[in-house]
Amino acid sequence: MNRRHFLSTAGSALGLAALTPRPGTAVGSPAPRVLEARAATAPLMGDAAPPAAVWGYDGRVPGPVIRTKQSEKLHLRFENRLEQPSTVHWHGIRIDNAMDGVAGLTQAAVPPGESFDYVFTPPDAGTFWYHPHNRTWEQMARGLYGLLIVEESEPPAVDRDLALAFDDWRLGEDGQIDEASLGHMRDWSHAGRLGNWLTVNGVSQPEIPLRQGERLRLRLANCCNARVLSLRLDGHAAWLMALDGQPITPYQPDDGVITLAPAQRADLIVDAVLAPGARPAILEVSGAYALEAAYLSYRPDEVLREAPLPPPAALPDNPLPSSLDLGGALRQELLMEGGAMGRMAGARHKGQQMGMRELVDQGMVWAFNGTAGMTETPLLRVERGRTAVIEMINDTAWPHALHLHGHHFRVVERNGEARSEEPWRDTLLLERDEKAGIAFLADNPGKWMLHCHMLEHQAAGMATWVEVLG
Ligand code: C2O
Ligand code: CU
């Protein structure tokens, strides 16, 4: 395997394997649907290397696309056939706390050989996903994640609805996951575990067939441990319809670039306006070179529609609050510190003040408000029905992707300036030295994690929780 085939932090050409993505499986029957985590193999490098040993839901990478309908009850039985305890977290679903899947906070991790029933009714339609919440940095790096699609009761008119899960893997020359580097402090204290091999739906550079004139809904999800993706669809002006599952007023981003931090999602509507036989790429443009993540292959001889379609109407609103009471909000600061090239001299961990060396011995290099890792008491306690504002300050040399469980929030201040038009999100990318105030209506009682979704940062200290008093 030639080095030139690998994705690097600087960006490089990808291999040429061109395979068709596997379609998702539709589920959602009233009987529990079993979701089994187990060891499996996946042809991550296509023909260029033997299949990689992975961990996958139902033995697949990514796991099955779970499709359900808004406000319909979903019953999933998670069966753990791994050699490690695990859980399933339903990222972005404003769920009952007991179903949130956070080991050590909302449930005990499910031991190998045992199962746990997740029953919940998604209040919002949109693009969500699921992944473990125990040793997430390792279990996701090995392939445990999948998309959860909640359909609107009246979905927009499109010809096809495609879910694309992006992931970067760290593979060795033999095509196997580089296990030796799992848990490396160098990754934990820098950008997190960045992979060298990009896949879309578990395949390197898949070909997505389409016909001229088709209208597609594309659901993009960043399932990387730590890599921020910048995606651009060559030759098309895509309509951005929703972020993190929540509808926005549709628009076409000027440069066509959609930036997705780890865990973020975007829904697009794309009209296939090129000529039969065209083969534009979905490019990943965050590096020095644009990488072809996937191709849209226009059929040479089929035309679905000649005339252009009118711009799409906005997706129907989800039941989120129409306003937030910022004046009466409970305010809490969240100072983010640590990491390589940071100024942090020490932090509290497990109830004790420690210097950097001692922290590193404990696998800790980041802190929120001077504390590394989870604490007995929450960052804030807020009564149900009140608005809370968390003022985040990124005093580190790295970007972070802050995720709040159980709620969507809005950025209401950025670097000291009030903002009124920012979209609802469940995960926020905060650049180095940036400040943002996020506001949410604390309407979902329970214990909710707030952490960096760069999973190595989470594991190395960037994790706390918020309690909404019922
Ligand atoms: Cu996507 Cu706390 O997780
Ligand atoms: Cu981070």
Q: In the chain, which residues have pLDDT < 50?
A: 1-29
Closest ligand relative to 263 C-alpha: 1
For 349-398, the DSSP string reads ETTEEEEHHHHHHTT--EEETTB-S--SS-SEEEETT-EEEEEEEE-SSS
Ligand 1 centre to CA of 446 (Å) is: 16
Judging by beta carbons within 10 Å of its beta carbon (0-12, 13-18, 19+), is residue 275 exposed, middle or buried? exposed
Question: Of all atoms in ligand 1, which is nearest to the CA of residue 427?
Answer: 1
Question: Of all atoms in ligand 1, which is nearest to the CA of residue 133?
Answer: 2
Closest ligand relative to 244 C-alpha: 1
pLDDT reported for residue 9:
37
Nearest of 318, 319, 311 to residue 157 by alpha carbon: 311
Give the closest residue (by CA) to ligand 1 atom 1: 91
Is there a contact between 163 and 281 (Cβ–Cβ < 8 Å)? no
Is there a contact between 281 and 295 (Cβ–Cβ < 8 Å)? yes
Give the whole-angstrom CA distance, residue 19 versus residue 17: 6
Question: Of all atoms in ligand 1, which is nearest to the CA of residue 129?
Answer: 1
pLDDT reported for residue 30:
64
Give the closest residue (by CA) to ligand 1 atom 3: 91
Is there a contact between 314 and 378 (Cβ–Cβ < 8 Å)? no
Question: Of all atoms in ligand 1, which is nearest to the CA of residue 102?
Answer: 2
pLDDT tens digit string along 325-380? 999 999 999 999 999 999 999 999 999 999 999 999 999 999 999 999 999 999 99
Closest ligand relative to 133 C-alpha: 1
Q: Point out which residues pair with 404 in neighbouring strands.
A: 450
Closest ligand relative to 87 C-alpha: 1
Ligand 2 centre to CA of 395 (Å) is: 11
Ligand 1 centre to CA of 262 (Å) is: 10
For 401-434, the DSSP string reads EEEESS--EEEEEETTEE-S-PPEESEEEE-TT-
Closest ligand relative to 432 C-alpha: 2
Ligand 2 centre to CA of 397 (Å) is: 10
Question: Of all atoms in ligand 1, which is nearest to the CA of residue 458?
Answer: 2
Count the residues in the chain.
470
Ligand 1 centre to CA of 95 (Å) is: 13
Question: Of all atoms in ligand 1, which is nearest to the CA of residue 263?
Answer: 1
Ligand 1 centre to CA of 307 (Å) is: 43
Question: Of all atoms in ligand 1, which is nearest to the CA of residue 131?
Answer: 1
Closest ligand relative to 228 C-alpha: 2
Ligand 2 centre to CA of 179 (Å) is: 22
Query: Could you tell me which residues come within 8 angstroms of residue 231 by beta carbon, excluding any fewer than 6 positions away?
Result: 166, 220, 257, 258, 259, 260, 282, 283, 284, 285, 293
Task: Show the tokens assigned to 402.
Answer: 């802050």
Ligand 2 centre to CA of 341 (Å) is: 14
Q: pTM for the full model? A: 0.93
pLDDT reported for residue 31:
81
| Residue list, ligand 1 pocket, CB within 6 Å | 89, 91, 131, 133, 263, 403, 405, 449, 451, 453
Question: Of all atoms in ligand 1, which is nearest to the CA of residue 451?
Answer: 2
Ligand 1 centre to CA of 211 (Å) is: 36
Query: Could you tell me which residues come within 8 angstroms of residue 383 by beta carbon, excluding any fewer than 6 positions away?
Result: 442, 468, 469
Ligand 2 centre to CA of 333 (Å) is: 17
